[in-house]
Chain A
Amino acid sequence: MSNGGRPMVQIEQVSKRFGNVAAVDDVSLNIAANEFFALLGPSGCGKTTLLRMLAGFEQPTGGRILIDGEDMATVPPNRRPVNMVFQSYAVFPHMTVADNVAYGLKVVGVPAGEIGPRVEQALAMVRLEGFGGRRPDQLSGGQRQRVALARALIKRPKVLLLDEPLSALDRKLREEMQLELVRLQQAVGITFVIVTHDQEEALSMADRIAVMDKGKMLQVAPPQELYEAPNCQMVADFIGKMNLVSGRVTGAEGTRLTIETSGLGTFELDRGYVPKGEVGIAIRPEKIQLLRDKPNGELIAWPGKIAQLAYFGDSSNIYVELESGLRIACTRANQSRQDSVAFKVGDPCWVAWQPGDYLLLDS
């Protein structure tokens, strides 16, 4: 790293208030050079506002933003070493593809002789060779997306900002572009910051993910950690599916807790710390085994009956109602062709899981 390990983007206690509403509330965050970083959260959580502050379209009302060590407070959008891919792509409709891509070089006075080859190169990078003469209205959504990418990357920014870049594409194209973006990021070696509300997108692409809600940064972690060790109920619930029951700590021996839950009985759990008062107990649906008979050994098992089935082809979601009335969701891969018809609504069954799959969450 040329900058000696200093973060590429430093967000220091940044807030943005619109009147009394804090769109972004005291957020601090470092993003490393060459990192593929995702800002994830439900709509209205402040992630886009944060991105727009990085681009310079919004001014923080508190805190400061440094990019490559330089304070951005007085730097207007057109002088920042960042470029953005807009949600609407914002491809200039009255220019050809080549003119669109060349625009960022022309306006800063790059000599014409240099522009041509760089446009070719940028179009090749996003696999749009030979599209230079086309008009934006002759392109598909995915192609326009690539034009927006080429137009931003040709500027050789230090950070590329992507605002929900894939939300307008259909599912197949979206998956293709996810792979493409990761390939591109590795090829150009630029820091990518992507805003998305699609957790799958964030999990599959990003090196690290920041989960935001109501302007606050809830957790910043690599995808696996975010999924397997969420630090609060909101993150647990937002990332993937989750069975969540509320519980109460009734006894503690060191960090060994006795927890009384509504629906899953009372059990002991040691997660190395002592939470206060109410807690959440969570188990991922795919960690739950669905069995005909009571299992032996270490597994925690509860009897119930099948309440509902949702079939997705590759997997099924099976909802089991325990005798306590609690509904447990269980995801089952349909590994053989008979799997999807193995259980029917009303069948008695057992749900079972490893004690280690419990998540203990502060509420």
Chain B
Amino acid sequence: MSDRPGPLDYSRKLWLRLWLLAVFVFLYAPIVILVLFSFNDSKRNIVWRGFTLDYYVKAWHNAPLIEAFVNTLVIALIATAISTVIGALVALALWRFRFPVKPLFEGAMALPIVIPEICMGVALMAFFARIGWPTQMPWPLSLASITVGHVAFCFPFVAIVVRARMVGFDRSLEEASKDLGASEWQTFRYITLPYMQPGLIAGGLLAMTLSLDDFVITFFTSGPETLTFPVKVYSMVRFGATPEVNAASTLLIVITIVLTVIAMLLQRPDKELQA
């Protein structure tokens, strides 16, 4: 039995390494190609014709594309902020209290996750039309309907992540805080919130990623004046994928990576203090 490889020993087998490589190629090659071809000096995205930054300049001067890009960022930031707050409150309510309709409430909260996105998109469109949501609004306000839609499907994810975090929380910490003279608010601010923080960051990030690249729900809730980046890219690709799209997409990838790295740095335990 001793010559049988342990679980980690399998990584030394050739076939497993090849398999691993294949998985990584399958997952990441498209992204690498997207980034590479954003520097391609060609109108078509097929053959490599040399390095250029032209398409970044072009994308920069493509006013509708930049506008869509800014829309996406604004929506993502606002939707993330609101979803994080609502999600955290839902998580706290579910974690902390027992009430008669709790299972029902819990199910209702998870509904936006399980409902097919297309249904939710249609539902939101019908809803906004039915209540007569104003469509002709000045710029940031015109994004409100999309933002509302994004919040609706983002906050349950935050709630799930934050609630999972709170499971490990020792309730006697809150009692100790109150026992030492802290008010309800001080207890939340100094004891509960610091414990929640990693969950809030993780949940917020998840919400932001979901919002940034959402197509279906945005498509149904946006007007002609309020295109977002994914919707705009879709319409551009219909007339042929140009390196301009690649350039803009690369920028989005970079932003996402930077945000993720920041979040990971924020969650890192204090190494200096533990030394």
Given contacts A84-B176, A135-B273, 10 further A-B contacts (CB under 8 A): A55-B175, A55-B179, A77-B179, A84-B175, A86-B176, A92-B176, A103-B180, A103-B182, A104-B181, A138-B274
What count of chain A residues pass the 8 Å CB interface test?
Answer: 27
- Cα–Cα distance between A154 and B15 once the two chains are bound (Å): 64
Chain B residues within 8 Å of A, Cβ to Cβ: 170, 172-173, 175-183, 186, 190-191, 194-195, 273-274
Pair B274/A107 contact, Cβ less than 8 Å: no
A83 at the interface (CB under 8 A from B): yes
**B190 adjacent to A107 (CB under 8 Å):** yes
Judge whether B180 and A151 touch: CB under 8 Å. yes
| B172 close to A107 (CB less than 8 A) | no
Flag whether A274 is at the interface (Cβ < 8 A).
no
Report yes or no: A78 in contact with B179, Cβ–Cβ below 8 A. Answer: yes
Main secondary structure of the interface of B (DSSP, over half): helix
The residue from B178, B180, B194 contacting A155, defined by CB atoms under 8 A apart: B180
Task: Closest A residue to B189 by CB, please name it.
Answer: A107
* Interchain CB contact under 8 A, B175 and A57: yes
7 A-B interface contacts by CB (under 8 A)? A84-B176, A90-B170, A92-B173, A93-B173, A93-B195, A94-B195, A138-B274
Contact A90 B195 (CB under 8 A): no
Chain A residue numbers with a CB within 8 Å of B176 are: 84, 86, 90, 92, 148, 151
Write the residues of chain A forming the contact surface with B, with a CB cutoff of 8 angstroms.
55, 57, 76-79, 82-84, 86-88, 90, 92-94, 103-104, 107-108, 135, 137-138, 148, 151-152, 155
Residues from chain A with Cβ under 8 Å of B177 in the complex: 92, 103, 107
**CA separation between A155 and B274, bound complex, in Å?**
28
Q: Do residues A104 and B274 form an inter-chain contact, with CB atoms below 8 A?
A: no
Query: Contacts of B181 on A, CB cut-off 8 Å?
Result: 78-79, 104, 107-108, 155
With A86-B172, A88-B170 given, is the CB distance from A103 to B179 under 8 Å?
no
From known contacts A94-B194, A138-B274, infer whether A77 and B183 are also in contact, taking CB-CB under 8 Å: no
Q: Chain A residues near B273 (CB, 8 Å)?
A: 135
Measured between beta carbons, the chain B residues less than 8 angstroms from A55 are: 175, 179
Roughly how many angstroms separate A37 CA and B140 CA in the complex, as a whole number?
66
CA distance A76 to B179 in the complex (A): 9
Task: Give A133's nearest chain B residue, CB to CB.
Answer: B273
Q: Which 8 A-B pairs have the closest CB atoms?
A: A104-B180, A90-B176, A107-B182, A90-B172, A77-B178, A108-B181, A86-B172, A78-B178
